A and B are shown apart, each in its own frame.
Chain A
């Protein structure tokens, strides 16, 4: 009662009460809304302000909503994409080099690939939108925030530099935050190649001793301003050696190979001047043999003509190293040390007594070991449990002594970490990376001599010791397809379907347009088949949409099927040209879907492979619309890959396209024999039934 009496009688609150209420209100407010809207922080990125429009702060850290337009621009610049669905709890960013950064709503931990990190705050949902820790995200994308007086500069980094010595060739791969743009500063006869990466900083070690035949060392320096840094990477190779850009597998990666004098190297010349992105530098001419022997390629500008960089072959690269003869003096393991590395471990093995053959195995249960053949231990065996995030334990022992001594170094890895072998003058370092190796089971063999590894190609392999069958690659097998008899109402009629057309260009690469190539080949095929007595109907004979201009995919594809189905054709042949996002795939593929398609596809494919000289990608069953929805035997021929330099060169040749048409026509003959006499053809006629001579 006294409370009410005080309140009512005084008519105004006592002096302590407003403060209490304010205190309570403040706490309640702080709980209900722990994140506060914040004026956009001054972020400078890629030459301009990055204005986060609806960011908040949590504990002083920037929280950015997943639908912030500035975040979208930031990610797009880095070639990254964000996938988030409010109905579930993950927000996953995929980087340009196919790493994933997985945030979980309500949990501070986030995964960068297989590595778990901790963010300053847990991502949260507010107003139906997920808010992510921006700095943690930026750093995972290899972008380093650097404070300046008036802004925080987001500096894209060259984040890693990997060196592989393969045979006598050294391959250096750099990974950047964004597409790496470089300028070649020098590539003189002294073997020094300097590349300046514009707008990119780096915190990598300034010097790295490679000690390979093709490359001796790498120096890194960072210059320019905070807002516009430049990282210069200088590769010191033997005078007269060769260097070339190699396919790096991702737009934010750059791979340069170095070969010593006398070792051929096939790749893409590094542009001599100007600024070229990796993407622009990729399709450059392959140097000729004479260029290769000079040790220097002709200068090329930024706008290099399209051609495919092909893989190099260094002598002995793919050849497994033979084991040391049993009669040779054994090599000795004279020292053995392990040391912490950046989120990994380096195990250094010192060897004395000459070259040694080795064989390493990655097992699916995260064990990794290397055997040094014809080697003996000159130090005590070790069996050590480690306090290390990457490696749980480490063992060194003499596996066998007589008649053939083998020393083994075995690691129990915490996760399937990538393990690299890096030679040094006195032996080899087994470098356990912070990244995981996704290939679950591998084997590699090679020799180590005077600080140089001659490695054979690691191969995915099922290993005897494998306890987990799940990791074995699963070969795909098709189930048998029932053959349903088809009696063609019009047994002399063949429908040819030139793939794409009109508003649908099909693939376009290297100056080639699929719809034009398919029409050209189909025209040639029509002529050949007509000359051999067949009636032929084309789904299109000019550059048009078959159903109607700008029609839907369904209407367009169904219209092509309808033409063949209504005409009661004996068979349906769809002509296409394949492509892929890189030049790595090539060859000819022939597809079928229904049981009745198979013999036709096989007959045509055999002739194609026999006459074209392309790689054989086989006869495959796929649920492609036009061979599914046609009732007669149907096949879809992917003649070659326009994305591959060699295949594209073939596709450009009219003579080769004529060969394609000839092979398909021969395959039709193998499948169906001669066309039936004209009397067996019903009233349905083709648009072309006049025999024309072969071109």
Chain B
């Protein structure tokens, strides 16, 4: 009987833990609002426009860098004239090595590129976005995991890390 009682107690404890987990673990925890500044380049190819986006609850360095890079690649909503990465560009990964963010892009960007004008404006916006994050001073772009001199059929040089001074 003592064994049975002990098992029942354990079972009740497990039930309590389980339901506690179900009730509280999935519930959003209040997180202080934080924003990242994302840039897009106007169609004049020169003017960078910052806008602020509220971060989700993941605030670790890699997550924030990934969030910012993905938003920069997506660009502003379609009613805003902006120079954009080709539709279908994917951010595979963003790593941070010291003060350099390593951005691995792919998808439509790996196909033969559009013209040089858009190319430099796209990377300008991406570099400004990531270097707006604390501790990031430069951006190394990779294409499908590989460092490349330019995009396929491209013009803009990508084999060295880019900084705001690169433009």
Q: Which residues of A contact B (CB under 8 A)?
A: 2-3, 6, 14, 16-17, 20-21, 23-24, 27-28, 30-31, 34, 79, 81-83, 85, 87-90, 92, 94, 96-100, 102-111, 113-114, 116, 118, 121-122, 173, 248-251, 253, 435, 438-440, 460, 470-471, 473-476, 478-479, 500, 504-507, 552-554, 557, 576-581, 584-585, 589, 591, 617, 620-626, 628, 636, 638, 641, 643
The residue of chain B having its C-beta at the shortest distance from the C-beta of A622 within the complex is: B120
Complexed CA–CA distance, A85 and B14 (Å): 34
**Residues of the B chain whose Cβ atoms lie less than 8 Å from the Cβ of A173:** 79
Please determine whether B58 and A27 come into contact, CB atoms closer than 8 angstroms: no
Please determine whether B47 and A474 come into contact, CB atoms closer than 8 angstroms: yes
Complexed CA–CA distance, A584 and B17 (Å): 59
Please determine whether A105 and B58 come into contact, CB atoms closer than 8 angstroms: yes
Complexed CA–CA distance, A426 and B44 (Å): 41
Complexed CA–CA distance, A636 and B11 (Å): 75
Selected contact of A473 from candidates B7, B10, B42, B86, CB within 8 Å: B42
Some 18 contacts from A to B, beta carbons below 8 A apart, are A27-B18, A31-B18, A85-B93, A90-B66, A94-B74, A106-B57, A106-B58, A114-B53, A253-B78, A439-B49, A460-B49, A470-B50, A505-B153, A580-B114, A580-B117, A623-B166, A624-B157, A638-B116
| B154 contacts chain A at the CB level, 8 A cutoff | yes
Known: A2-B2, A109-B28, A114-B53. A625 touches B149 (CB 8 A): yes
Please determine whether B18 and A30 come into contact, CB atoms closer than 8 angstroms: yes
Please determine whether A85 and B94 come into contact, CB atoms closer than 8 angstroms: yes
Complexed CA–CA distance, A250 and B79 (Å): 9
Please determine whether A553 and B58 come into contact, CB atoms closer than 8 angstroms: no
Complexed CA–CA distance, A253 and B87 (Å): 14
Please determine whether B70 and A622 come into contact, CB atoms closer than 8 angstroms: no
**Residues of the A chain whose Cβ atoms lie less than 8 Å from the Cβ of B4:** 14, 16-17, 20
| B97 contacts chain A at the CB level, 8 A cutoff | no
The residue of chain B having its C-beta at the shortest distance from the C-beta of A500 within the complex is: B153
**Residues of the B chain whose Cβ atoms lie less than 8 Å from the Cβ of A628:** 157
Known: A31-B21, A96-B87, A580-B117. A111 touches B54 (CB 8 A): yes
| B56 contacts chain A at the CB level, 8 A cutoff | yes
The residue of chain B having its C-beta at the shortest distance from the C-beta of A436 within the complex is: B77
Complexed CA–CA distance, A507 and B113 (Å): 7
| Number of chain B interface residues as a range | 35 or more
Please determine whether A113 and B77 come into contact, CB atoms closer than 8 angstroms: yes
| B136 contacts chain A at the CB level, 8 A cutoff | no
Complexed CA–CA distance, A79 and B90 (Å): 12
Q: Least Cβ distance of B156 to chain A in Å?
A: 6
Please determine whether B115 and A104 come into contact, CB atoms closer than 8 angstroms: no
| Top 9 closest pairs, chain A to chain B, by CB | A578-B115, A89-B58, A250-B78, A20-B7, A249-B78, A88-B63, A85-B93, A104-B56, A554-B149
Complexed CA–CA distance, A435 and B154 (Å): 36
| B15 contacts chain A at the CB level, 8 A cutoff | yes
**Residues of the B chain whose Cβ atoms lie less than 8 Å from the Cβ of A470:** 37, 50, 52
- Among A34, A476, A505, A643, residue most surrounded by chain B Cβ atoms (within 10 Å): A476
**Residues of the A chain whose Cβ atoms lie less than 8 Å from the Cβ of B70:** 83, 90, 92, 94, 100, 102
The residue of chain A having its C-beta at the shortest distance from the C-beta of B10 within the complex is: A24
Given A98-B87, A111-B56, list of 11 further CB < 8 A pairs? A14-B4, A85-B66, A85-B93, A100-B74, A108-B27, A116-B54, A476-B167, A505-B112, A505-B153, A507-B113, A620-B45
Known: A473-B42, A580-B114, A584-B43. A20 touches B11 (CB 8 A): yes
**Residues of the A chain whose Cβ atoms lie less than 8 Å from the Cβ of B93:** 85, 87
Number of A-B contacts (CB under 8 A): 256
Complexed CA–CA distance, A476 and B76 (Å): 19
Please determine whether B90 and A82 come into contact, CB atoms closer than 8 angstroms: yes
Please determine whether A617 and B45 come into contact, CB atoms closer than 8 angstroms: yes
Complexed CA–CA distance, A109 and B86 (Å): 28
Please determine whether A100 and B114 come into contact, CB atoms closer than 8 angstroms: no
Please determine whether B156 and A435 come into contact, CB atoms closer than 8 angstroms: no
Complexed CA–CA distance, A475 and B93 (Å): 30
The residue of chain A having its C-beta at the shortest distance from the C-beta of B104 within the complex is: A85
Please determine whether B46 and A580 come into contact, CB atoms closer than 8 angstroms: no
Please determine whether B27 and A504 come into contact, CB atoms closer than 8 angstroms: no
Q: Least Cβ distance of B107 to chain A in Å?
A: 6
| B95 contacts chain A at the CB level, 8 A cutoff | yes
Complexed CA–CA distance, A98 and B85 (Å): 10
Please determine whether A89 and B60 come into contact, CB atoms closer than 8 angstroms: yes
Selected contact of A476 from candidates B48, B77, B159, CB within 8 Å: B48
Q: Least Cβ distance of B39 to chain A in Å?
A: 8
Q: Least Cβ distance of A584 to chain B in Å?
A: 6
**Residues of the A chain whose Cβ atoms lie less than 8 Å from the Cβ of B27:** 108
Please determine whether B77 and A98 come into contact, CB atoms closer than 8 angstroms: yes
**Residues of the B chain whose Cβ atoms lie less than 8 Å from the Cβ of A122:** 26
| B148 contacts chain A at the CB level, 8 A cutoff | yes
Please determine whether B154 and A553 come into contact, CB atoms closer than 8 angstroms: yes
Q: Which of B135-167 contact A (CB under 8 A)?
A: 148-157, 159, 165-167
Q: Least Cβ distance of A646 to chain B in Å?
A: 16
Q: Least Cβ distance of A576 to chain B in Å?
A: 7
Selected contact of B90 from candidates A34, A81, A578, CB within 8 Å: A81
**Residues of the A chain whose Cβ atoms lie less than 8 Å from the Cβ of B29:** 107
Please determine whether B58 and A98 come into contact, CB atoms closer than 8 angstroms: no
Please determine whether A90 and B63 come into contact, CB atoms closer than 8 angstroms: yes
Complexed CA–CA distance, A631 and B134 (Å): 36
Please determine whether B52 and A85 come into contact, CB atoms closer than 8 angstroms: no
Q: Least Cβ distance of B166 to chain A in Å?
A: 6
**Residues of the B chain whose Cβ atoms lie less than 8 Å from the Cβ of A87:** 62, 93, 95
Q: Least Cβ distance of A132 to chain B in Å?
A: 13
**Residues of the B chain whose Cβ atoms lie less than 8 Å from the Cβ of A27:** 11, 14-15, 18
Selected contact of B88 from candidates A31, A81, A473, CB within 8 Å: A81
